[in-house]
Amino acid sequence: MRISSWVSSPAETEMFEHTLDAFRAAEPEVAFDFEPIPGNYSEKLQLMLGTNTGPDLFYLKGYIAPSFMSFDILEPLDSYTAAEPDINLDDFYPTLLAAFQRDGVQY
């Protein structure tokens, strides 16, 4: 699996690496690589996804989500959240959830 995020500095990249190292230690069976993307993140991400070279998991701002939803780039999460009893969407900020909803589907 490939994970990407926008990073603004080496310190932010280090913070991501530290967090992901903790996840790797807790979940060693999950293999992934982290690919930081500095500068022009949205444009680079759109190009990567449009050419099928994009990451599997990536950071996305809510205002960009509608265009990604319209091109079927995002994976609907409803079946995953329904199958996992420990996930309660009421624990999330409603505004954040709404930014990633379309036609009753949660992305």
**Residues 6 or more apart in contact with residue 29 via CB below 8 angstroms:** none
| 84-104 mean pLDDT | 95
CA distances from 70 to 5, 65, 67, 94 (A): 21, 9, 5, 21
Q: Is the pLDDT of residue 73 over 90?
A: no
User: So what's the pLDDT on residue 9?
Assistant: 92
Please check whether residue 6 is in contact with residue 43, taking contact to mean a CB–CB distance below 8 angstroms.
no
- Provide the token pair at 18: 């530290």
User: So what's the pLDDT on residue 86?
Assistant: 95
Q: E strands within the chain?
A: 2-7, 33-38, 57-58, 101-102, 105-106
User: So what's the pLDDT on residue 72?
Assistant: 84
Distance separating alpha carbons of residues 75 and 99, to the nearest angstrom:
14
Domain ranges of the chain: 1-59, 63-107
> Per residue in 21-66, pLDDT tens?
999 999 999 999 999 998 899 899 989 998 999 999 999 989 989 9
